Amino acid sequence: MQSSDKNTLTELLAQLNAAQRDAVEFCDGPSLVIAGAGSGKTRVLTYKIAYLLEQGLPPYYILALTFTNKAAKEMKSRVSDLVGEKKARQVWMGTFHSIFSRILRNEAANIGFDSNFTIFDASDSHNLVRLIIKDMNLDDKVYRPGSVHHRISMAKNSLITPAMYEQNAEIREYDRQIKQPLIFEIYRRYQERLRAGNSMDFDDLLLYTNILFRDHPDVLENYRNRFQYILVDEYQDTNFAQHLIVKQLAEVHHRVFVVGDDAQSIYSFRGANIDNILKFKTSYPEAQIFKLEQNYRSTQNIVNAANSLIKKNVGQIFKNVFSKQEEGEKIEVISAFSDFEEGVIIANKIARMRLEDHVSYGNFAILYRTNAQSRIFEEALRKKNIPYRIYGGLSFYQRKEIKDIIGYFRLIINPQDEEAFRRIINYPARGIGDVTVNKISDAAQMHNIGMWEVLSDPVGYGLHVNFGTLKKLSDFRALIRDFIDQNEKLNAFELAQEVIKKTGIVGETYRDMTPEGMSRAENIQELLNAMNIFVAQRQEEGDDDIRLQDFLQEVSLLTDQDTDGNSDSERVTLMTVHSAKGLEFDHVFVAGMEEDLFPVAMAKNEMRGLEEERRLFYVAITRAKKTCTLTYAKSRFRNGRLTSTQKSRFLSDIDHNFLTSESEAIFVAHAEHEDGFWGSLRHKREEETANAGSQAPLYNFQKEKLSPIAQTSSGALPKEADELCEGDIIEHERFGRGVVSEIESTGSDKRAFVDFDSVGRKQLLLKFAKFKIVK
């Protein structure tokens, strides 16, 4: 926590322990820092950067790579604290994806892209794969878009291009075995479509960087000369593409400094290759290895328990992590009769510790292996009025209303972007339906051009649509063209306002008074706020012309992890173990310690899989500073079925000297919950009814779902819907207030024509429509 921006070398080094200091001071070649959990990894990284700067290395010669925006932000601010903002800002600090997307934009012409290329997010990629599978008339039950995309992603991470994929006998044989022999073809088309749309997916950012370096030695030369020092955080999570980028860039100066912990490698399913860290010395034979073994985070018991667990893994770098903190409490193991009871036990324990030990809610975390487990904890916490926060739901930028608006942004910046085109061509509805879209798509493919191109001359490209549709298409094109023109003059925020106004999004959303509609409106407002802040901040930093493309660049690499104000002192944290990596809490509960859940069923057949699960468990335990509680349920609802479970093998992997005896814990659990499993089922039912009346503090969606109409129309005896007459005033659930202008009966169906204040005339089928009669 140094606030002065002048730190001498000695001052800097004095704030480190011996091992950290050694790592920071070594600057003559490649080095690997094995940083045990809680050993001050970020500290070493930031001090290293400060140290280099203090030694006189110009900041723009330093490249520091992280995996998350959050980590990058954290690093920036801590380096800022040490050396001052001015210098810190000049260091190339960022995520792999953001740094190399920037480089790719600069060098786009070299690889046949425009510098305004779009970056696809996971769902865009998924959609495109699905589209291609459909185009090829393949069965999407066999070719599941998700798993096909995963195969493609893994190929890209290993730098296997479509051509290489097609020629690789081993891969093709594997695909045949999984009954998907045509993945190579899907991959080929996928990559072509992306390129045609001047777009890249996340993996492409790394793949094309490698291709750029391979095919343009002059470009590579330029960057490898520039980056005199390269630092990489979380090195255990790098994949082959990342490894190779770093290796190539380090070729001239040989000064790479990577930090990581092989024991915390938990992302192999995303292509991370633990061998990058395990075999660092093979890649960099002259490398120095440093180990940070003192854990400053946790009690001795927690550290020792975690050590004893991870020892069961074969593939790892030896280290002796230790803590000089107090011995602390043993890790408690609690068994519950049911998943429901597991939730109650944890909730009770949190409530009790808060009362008795004055621990605030923000110091607790409940960690679990799968998101599906969160529900039961929500219920249990809500019942006890314990505020909580769940991480890892739908991210802000994945919400439909946000993606729709971003779709406009994308098309404005890159009209070739087919995903964006499809997304918004008929949003808000403008009468361009699937049939027309398919015709455009066909015409585009026939002439080997983008869908946007077709709009420039529909007739010339043989688009057979009627005159009305033609008009709609040219209106749409004019609308987007207008925005493109305006983008010359307006900043990102101003243009965004124009977009939501001129497209009618603002009108459509803001008049929707349903809770869902209101939340949509709020989200849109939030997006605008974010843009406003973005522009203002950049202006403060001296950039004047902040255009939409600048915002888009930023936002396409942003995830929900970054948007929230993380540490919330008054709420219990609920998250998967994966998302907890890098965080710490005083009191941690790890729930669902059962076979087939943790370790998860799919992992247990392979040793690699099992070891990764064990590392995941290691990550979970080492999040705890003071206490760690492991729970499991003897029976659990899974996939709608009540199944009986076995406790996790991982529990017996921990040296029992560091665990409380379990039976004792069961006794406690019983005392709190008199009648065990059957009782708990009964409790559940009681709770459900009781809940209807009890006031829940947070996330009470149930309540919100009550239509506000029910309240506004209280008083007079309501007319039934089928008694509706002309002249009546109604309040529609989504369209709001309207006057009935006409009633029509066709057979048994009665329909009304209503003039709504907000959306104009609509036809409602009375047996379906949701509304109340106001007058």
- The CB-of-734 to DNA minimum distance in angstroms stands at 6
Is residue 649 at the binding interface for DNA, with CB under 7 A as the rule?
A: no
Residue with tokens 């291709």: 211
d(CA 634, CA 335): 7
Is residue 399 at the binding interface for DNA, with CB under 7 A as the rule?
A: no
- CB-neighbour burial class of residue 182 (10 A; exposed 0-12, middle 13-18, buried 19+): middle
Q: Which stretch binds DNA (CB under 7 A): 335-343, 446-454, 703-711, 762-770?
A: 762-770
Task: Give the per-residue contact string, 39-68, with DNA (x = CB under 7 A; - = no).
Answer: ----------------------------xx
The one catalytic residue in 42, 161, 486, 497 is 42
d(CA 140, CA 182): 12
Rank residues 239 and 363 by Cβ distance to DNA and give the closer one.
Answer: 239
Check if 233 is active-site.
Answer: yes
Q: Which of 546, 588, 590, 603 binds DNA (CB under 7 A)?
A: 603
The DSSP element (H or E) to which 755 belongs, if any, is: strand 749-756
Q: Which of 490, 684, 770, 774 binds DNA (CB under 7 A)?
A: 770
The one catalytic residue in 21, 41, 76, 547 is 41
Q: Show contacts with DNA in window 122-161 (CB under 7 A).
A: 122, 130, 141
The structure tokens listed for 294 are: 């003192």
d(CA 435, CA 468): 14
The DSSP element (H or E) to which 65 belongs, if any, is: strand 62-66
Q: Which of 557, 572, 619, 654 binds DNA (CB under 7 A)?
A: 557
Is residue 389 at the binding interface for DNA, with CB under 7 A as the rule?
A: no
- The CB-of-375 to DNA minimum distance in angstroms stands at 6
Question: CA–CA distance from 664 to each of 334, 661, 668, 740 (Å)?
Answer: 9, 6, 7, 69
Amino acid letter, residue 117? F
Q: Which of 11, 70, 138, 226 binds DNA (CB under 7 A)?
A: 70
Is the N-terminal amide bond of 181 cis, ω within 30° of 0? no
Check if 623 is active-site.
Answer: yes
Q: Could you give the angle at the alpha carbon of 527 between the alpha carbons of 523 and 532, nearest 5°? A: 145
d(CA 583, CA 566): 10
- Residues 230 and 65: beta-carbon distance below 8 Å: yes
The one catalytic residue in 264, 509, 514, 573 is 264
Rank residues 311 and 734 by Cβ distance to DNA and give the closer one.
Answer: 734
Is residue 768 at the binding interface for DNA, with CB under 7 A as the rule?
A: yes
- The CB-of-135 to DNA minimum distance in angstroms stands at 14
Is residue 561 at the binding interface for DNA, with CB under 7 A as the rule?
A: yes
- The CB-of-600 to DNA minimum distance in angstroms stands at 5
Check if 203 is active-site.
Answer: no
In terms of DSSP bridges, do strands 635-638 and 749-756 run parallel, antiparallel, or are they unpaired?
unpaired
The DSSP element (H or E) to which 764 belongs, if any, is: strand 760-765
Q: Which stretch binds DNA (CB under 7 A): 44-52, 108-116, 299-307, 577-585?
A: 577-585
Rank residues 87 and 636 by Cβ distance to DNA and give the closer one.
Answer: 636
Check if 234 is active-site.
Answer: yes
Q: Show contacts with DNA in window 238-267 (CB under 7 A).
A: 267
Check if 469 is active-site.
Answer: no
E strands of 88-228, at which residues?
92-95, 118-120, 199-201
SS (H, E, C) 561-601: HHHCCCCCCCCEEEEEHHHHCCCCEEEEEECCCECEECCEH
Q: DSSP per residue over 118-155, as a string?
A: EEE-HHHHHHHHHHHHHHTT--TTTS-HHHHHHHHHHH
d(CA 499, CA 509): 13
E strands of 428-581, at which residues?
572-576
Is residue 708 at the binding interface for DNA, with CB under 7 A as the rule?
A: no
Q: Which of 17, 559, 691, 707 binds DNA (CB under 7 A)?
A: 559
- The CB-of-449 to DNA minimum distance in angstroms stands at 26
Rank residues 264 and 294 by Cβ distance to DNA and give the closer one.
Answer: 264
In terms of DSSP bridges, do strands 364-368 and 572-576 run parallel, antiparallel, or are they unpaired?
parallel
Residue 704 φ/ψ, nearest 5 degrees: -65, -25
Q: Which stretch binds DNA (CB under 7 A): 32-40, 91-99, 175-183, 289-297?
A: 91-99
Rank residues 253 and 430 by Cβ distance to DNA and give the closer one.
Answer: 430
d(CA 123, CA 180): 21
Q: Which of 251, 564, 749, 757 binds DNA (CB under 7 A)?
A: 749
Q: Which of 7, 46, 69, 316 binds DNA (CB under 7 A)?
A: 69
How many Cα neighbours within 13 Å face the side chain of 370? 15
Is residue 760 at the binding interface for DNA, with CB under 7 A as the rule?
A: no
Q: Which of 177, 639, 695, 714 binds DNA (CB under 7 A)?
A: 639
Check if 42 is active-site.
Answer: yes
Which value, to the nearest 10 degrees, does the dihedral of the CA atoms of residues 143, 144, 149, 155 take?
-50
The structure tokens listed for 641 are: 């079925």
Rank residues 166 and 560 by Cβ distance to DNA and give the closer one.
Answer: 560
> 257 has which bridge partners?
31, 231
Q: Which of 17, 426, 660, 691 binds DNA (CB under 7 A)?
A: 426
Rank residues 568 and 733 by Cβ distance to DNA and give the closer one.
Answer: 733
How many chain residues interact with DNA (CB under 7 A)? 53
- Residues 747 and 734: beta-carbon distance below 8 Å: no
Rank residues 204 and 332 by Cβ distance to DNA and give the closer one.
Answer: 204
Q: Which stretch binds DNA (CB under 7 A): 251-259, 337-345, 346-354, 761-769?
A: 761-769
Q: Which stretch binds DNA (CB under 7 A): 11-19, 415-423, 537-545, 578-586?
A: 578-586
d(CA 319, CA 278): 13
Among candidates 699, 680, 619, which has minimal Cα distance to 267?
619
d(CA 157, CA 4): 42
Q: Which stretch binds DNA (CB under 7 A): 95-103, 297-305, 534-542, 566-574?
A: 95-103
User: What is the chain's Cα-based Rg?
Assistant: 29
Rank residues 551 and 658 by Cβ distance to DNA and give the closer one.
Answer: 551
- The CB-of-667 to DNA minimum distance in angstroms stands at 29
What is the DSSP secondary structure assignment for residue 68, as one 8-state letter? S
Among candidates 65, 25, 23, 57, which has minimal Cα distance to 40?
23
d(CA 5, CA 9): 12
- The CB-of-514 to DNA minimum distance in angstroms stands at 9
Q: Which of 20, 80, 95, 573 binds DNA (CB under 7 A)?
A: 95
How many Cα neighbours within 13 Å face the side chain of 662? 11
- The CB-of-769 to DNA minimum distance in angstroms stands at 7
In terms of DSSP bridges, do strands 729-732 and 736-746 run parallel, antiparallel, or are they unpaired?
antiparallel
The structure tokens listed for 534 are: 């973005």
Is residue 98 at the binding interface for DNA, with CB under 7 A as the rule?
A: yes
Rank residues 328 and 582 by Cβ distance to DNA and give the closer one.
Answer: 582
Rank residues 127 and 497 by Cβ distance to DNA and give the closer one.
Answer: 127
Q: Which stretch binds DNA (CB under 7 A): 43-51, 381-389, 570-578, 674-682?
A: 570-578
Is residue 637 at the binding interface for DNA, with CB under 7 A as the rule?
A: yes
d(CA 603, CA 80): 42
Q: Show contacts with DNA in window 158-217 (CB under 7 A).
A: 202-203
Rank residues 269 and 667 by Cβ distance to DNA and give the closer one.
Answer: 269
Q: Which of 289, 372, 706, 710 binds DNA (CB under 7 A)?
A: 372
Rank residues 70 and 216 by Cβ distance to DNA and give the closer one.
Answer: 70
Among candidates 207, 258, 194, 261, which has minimal Cα distance to 97?
207
Binding site for DNA (CB under 7 A): 67-70, 95, 97-98, 122, 130, 141, 202-203, 234, 237, 267, 269-270, 272, 369-372, 375, 392, 395, 426, 429, 431, 433, 557, 559-562, 575-576, 578-579, 581, 600, 602-603, 609, 637, 639-640, 733-734, 749, 765, 768-770
Question: Which residues are designated catalytic?
Answer: 41-42, 233-234, 264, 623
